Structure formats: structure tokens, C-alpha cells
Structure 1
Amino acid sequence: MVFAATVEGFQCTGFEINSILTGYARVKAKWKGIPFSTASFVNQDFWKTNLSKYNNMTVFLAPGVMEVLGRKLEKELPDEARVIACRFPFPDWTPTATEGDGLDQAWAYDMNTIRKLSTHTIMR
């Protein structure tokens, strides 16, 4: 996903807990001629990382962790952030947009909208 996003002009950071996969991604980026300033790969557990400096996030994780991830992102991401979930949606969030279907479906969520809907639900 990082490589596809850099082609579209995004500056990306990929988190990978497996150091072998992190090294592979770094070598692949160098081989493709992608500068470190455009695509960086961090050998770190993003569950233990403060994500507040990121404005866009793409996730491809198992359905069982999406609810927990949603709570983390609600706490840490700025209001202007957008989250794209691939293949598995956030169970408690209402998407701003969706694209594709079946195994190729993705959902877009705007944090500002998610927070407004959460606040509205709590106030009821």
C-alpha cells in the first residue's frame, strides 16, 4: 500500500513489526528509486506508537482488531485525518464513502465525521 500511495504523490510511513519485512520494504523502495523522504518504513509496533502526526491512514487488518483500532485512532488522529480500511470495515463507524465490493471493497472515514457521530450518539 505504501508503494501504491507514493505513486499517487503521498508521503508515506509503513509500520511493520517484523524486522525482516521492514528490511525488505526498505530495499525494495531503494531499488524502485523511491527516496526515504517519500516512503519510510518503521520497524515498530504501531499499537505502541502515537499516531497523532498522521493525517491519512490506510489499514488492512483482521476484523477482530478493527474495533480496538478504531478506539485508538479516535483518541490519536487529528480531526482532518482520513482513514481508509481495506477489505474489513470498522464495525462501529459510518463511512464517508465506499468503493468496490467483496474482497476488493474499501471504506473511507473522516475523523471529524466519526467524532461528530460519536458525540451525537453519546448525547442521545
Structure 2
Amino acid sequence: MGAYGLWTLFALPGFRKVPTYLKVPYLPSSKTQTQNVMKLLHGRAGCLADLGSGDGRLVFAATVEGFQCTGFEINYILTGYARVKAKWKGIPSSTASFINQDFWKMEVLGRKLEKELPDEARVIACRFPFPDWTPTATVGDGLDQAWAYDMNAIRKLSTHTIMR
């Protein structure tokens, strides 16, 4: 009963705000999944936005590698937990911040990213690949799989498709 109570505390706030077809329970990133994402980010620097950041595991791993990170999470309890954990770890909010936001209300995410990200940006997807994009690289399998999409390649493919 106690486990169910904890699960509802962490998972249900997100369920109330997400459209029925997108409801996914909170499932923390595994160590392997986080390592796979970091492999796909190897040699890169700059800003990282983690959509569906949960308890902040990926954000914390990326800050260690020098990224400036923002985690977006629909579940306000997980957002609060990640903020407290960042303070406890001594990570300044200028390096890692967490925003309680429902990014599903934005325009279609893929088109938004294509429109707003610079050519050198890399988008990493975990568990749910972008259906209309061809990945530049992929690491892992099953729940730990991660897909990398380089915006310059995505734009070239989009342009090539349009020109046909």
C-alpha cells in the first residue's frame, strides 16, 4: 500500500495534465540510458534542455560534463525534488534549473525544434524517437535506447524531401 501511495504521489500529477494518448508513467532514467545519452553528446558543449526531466538524473549528469541545463517536467513534485537535489549537490541554478511546464501544449515539437534550433544543435530522444526524423546515431536498445538527431541533417532531409 505504501509503494502505491508513493507511486501516486510522483506519477499522478503528470497524468492529470497530459492528453490521454500521451499518458506515460514516471519511469526514471536508468544508469545505462543516461550513459547512452552522454555518449551521443560526447564532444559537444553548450545548453541542454531535458523535456520530461523527471528527478533530474540526466540534467545532473550533463552538468558534470559542462553543459548548462534546463529540465522541463510536468510533475510539480518531481520538479521540486530535482530543485532540492540540485541545491543539496551544490549545483547553482545558473548551471541547472528545473521548470514545471507542460511542453505538450507547445506546437508540434518536431516542427518547433526545426524552426528554432541552430544547425549545430543535436536533439537526443530516449524511449520515444521522433517518428518523422531519421536519426544521425543511436545507442543502446529497449528502454535504454537513445536516438540522436543533428539539426543540419534533419533540415537537409526535409529540404531534399520537399524538392522531390
TM-score by length of 2: 0.59
Q: CA deviation digits over 1:10-39, x for unaligned, max 9?
A: 110111233332222111100111111110
Structure 2 unaligned blocks of 5 or more: 1-57
CA radius of gyration, larger in: 2
Structure 1 unaligned blocks of 5 or more: 48-65
**2-side partners of 1:109 and 1:95: how far apart?**
5
Look up the match of 1:99.
Answer: 139
Q: CA deviation at 1:93?
A: 0.7
- SS state of the match for residue 154, structure 2? helix
Distance 1:77 1:10, change over 3 A: same
Is 2:160 the counterpart of 1:120?
yes
**2-side partners of 1:114 and 1:4: how far apart?**
26
Where in structure 1 do 4 or more consecutive aligned residues deviate above 6 Å? none
Identical-pair percentage:
94
- SS state of the match for residue 2, structure 1? helix
TM-score by length of 1: 0.76
RMSD: 2.1
Distance 1:82 1:15, change over 3 A: same
Give 1 or 2: higher strand fraction: 1
- Give yes or no for contact 1:67–1:91 (8 Å, CA) kept in 2: no
Q: CA deviation digits over 1:25-65, x for unaligned, max 9?
A: 11110011111111011223335xxxxxxxxxxxxxxxxxx
Distance 1:10 1:43, change over 3 A: same
- SS state of the match for residue 67, structure 1? coil
Query: Residue 125 of structure 2 is aligned with which of 85, 90, 95?
Result: 85
Q: How many residue pairs were aligned?
A: 106
**1-side partners of 2:111 and 2:128: how far apart?**
16
